Structure 1
Amino acid sequence: MLKQSFRLSALLPLGLTLLLTTAACTRTPDAVAPIDPVPTAPTPGDQVEDTESLIALSGEGLQLVGDQTGSTNALEFGTDMATVEGIVTNILGTPLETGLNEECGAGPQMITQWPGGLVLHAAEGEFIGWSARPDTDEALTTIAGVGIGSTRSALEAAYTVEVFESSLGTEFSAGDLFGILTSDAPDAIVQNLWAGTTCNFR
């Protein structure tokens, strides 16, 4: 609504001033139909795309995490090992070594180790487990940030954990994750970590 005010004043002789009242006029604008906003086409800069995938450890296998979007894709236990090996090799590089271990308690396993310490276990052509040893890159962790070098306190902050003594040492279970701590103290360090079917000798 528009409002216009007009004020007039005049100076009369002998110092007498006659003040005219303010006249106000209002006008109601014609009704205007609402205008739908024009859709704006997204610009290429608005779309975030991943430039690479990172590997995260999981109790169900491995997770591929987009470096920009954080989106995840699962490589679950039971996946064809050739598929898993190809993907991991694209990310971590050529494996350092691979070989058949026929003495594992669960049966023969093909065991492959990549730079950074990740070890994958396969049987009958399927991905069945992974393990991380003391020399594994500390950047290789679960999505919750737990990996080799994490403290027991950090482990227990992320998972419901059971700690117990076994022939392997101070062992723990956290759902489908398993590992060994340097001791049972709160500041003990995770020195081994695994999930699925691996080749631990008890």
Structure 2
Amino acid sequence: MRIAPRTALALALAALVAVAACDRSQAPAAAAPTPADPVRAEGPALPAQSIGGLAIEGEGLRIFDAAGAPRALPFETPQATVIAAVAASVGGAAPEVITNSECGAGPVQFARFANGLQLAFQDSKFAGWTLDQEGLSTVDGVEVGMSRAALSANRTVEMQEDSTLGAEFSAGDISGFFASTAADSPVTSMYAGLTCFFR
């Protein structure tokens, strides 16, 4: 039996369609991967005043902008720069600067802010600070008002046994005073750098 050319062509096309239909058993295409949500780096939480505020430290001060980015104000920074930066950080007008000519290190200029922070300057350079009110802290949480036990859990505390000024301590690069030597006694003040204590 002889198949007409037109019929042969039709049969070939039909066979081709059947084969193609059998090949459609492919696995469904995988869904396009969705981009992962950005992962935020986890880090130690900063004290509240360190977000758009100020922190004390053994080498000076640290200013934080509204995003938490730090700017160091180390000792030896020009006096005008430090006063302007701290005033802008804590709010209010810059304090009056007074001079004490009787300090052991020679004449020292002081600027006291309403939050209990007092800055010391010598030769127009930032030289030290003292703090006697609650509200500011170091980045690791050392602050006025915390107990001796809490401070000891945070840092190594060494008492200055020969101090003539009271229960004086050092805790790393920060020093200060407890109300007494009792374990639950609070920190009453702290300092770093140049002071004008009469011992």
Give the TM-score normalised by the residue count of structure 1. 0.71
Matches within 5 A, 1:25-174: 27=24, 29=26, 53-67=52-66, 69-92=67-90, 93-133=92-132, 136=133, 138-165=134-161, 166-174=163-171
**The structure with more strand, counted as a fraction of residues:** 1
Amino acid at match of 2:128: G
Q: What runs of 5+ residues in structure 2 fail to find an aligned partner?
A: 1-21, 36-50
What secondary structure is seen at the aligned counterpart in 2 of 1:85?
Answer: helix
Amino acid at match of 1:199: C
1:181 paired to 2:186: no
Name 2:190's counterpart in structure 1: 193
Name 1:6's counterpart in structure 2: none
How far 1:53 sits from its partner (Å)?
2.3
Whether contact under 8 Å (2:52, 2:68) holds in the other structure is no
Whether contact under 8 Å (1:178, 1:193) holds in the other structure is yes
Q: Which runs of 4+ in 1 moved over 4 A?
A: 35-38
Whether contact under 8 Å (2:76, 2:126) holds in the other structure is yes
How far 1:65 sits from its partner (Å)?
2.4
Q: What runs of 5+ residues in structure 1 fail to find an aligned partner?
A: 1-24, 39-51
How far 1:26 sits from its partner (Å)?
5.8
Range 113-122 or range 153-162, more displaced: 153-162
Change (3 A) 1:71 1:158: farther
Whether contact under 8 Å (2:177, 2:187) holds in the other structure is yes
How far 1:192 sits from its partner (Å)?
1.4
Whether contact under 8 Å (1:94, 1:114) holds in the other structure is no
What secondary structure is seen at the aligned counterpart in 1 of 2:53?
Answer: strand
How far 1:182 sits from its partner (Å)?
0.9
Whether contact under 8 Å (1:53, 1:65) holds in the other structure is yes
CA distance in structure 2 between the partners assigned to 1:96 and 1:84 by the alignment: 12
Amino acid at match of 2:182: A
CA distance in structure 2 between the partners assigned to 1:76 and 1:55 by the alignment: 13
Name 1:7's counterpart in structure 2: none
How far 1:82 sits from its partner (Å)?
0.8
How far 1:160 sits from its partner (Å)?
1.4
How far 1:193 sits from its partner (Å)?
0.5
Instruction: List per-residue Cα deviations over 1:62-93 (Å, max 9, x = no partner).
Output: 011244x4332211011111111111111222
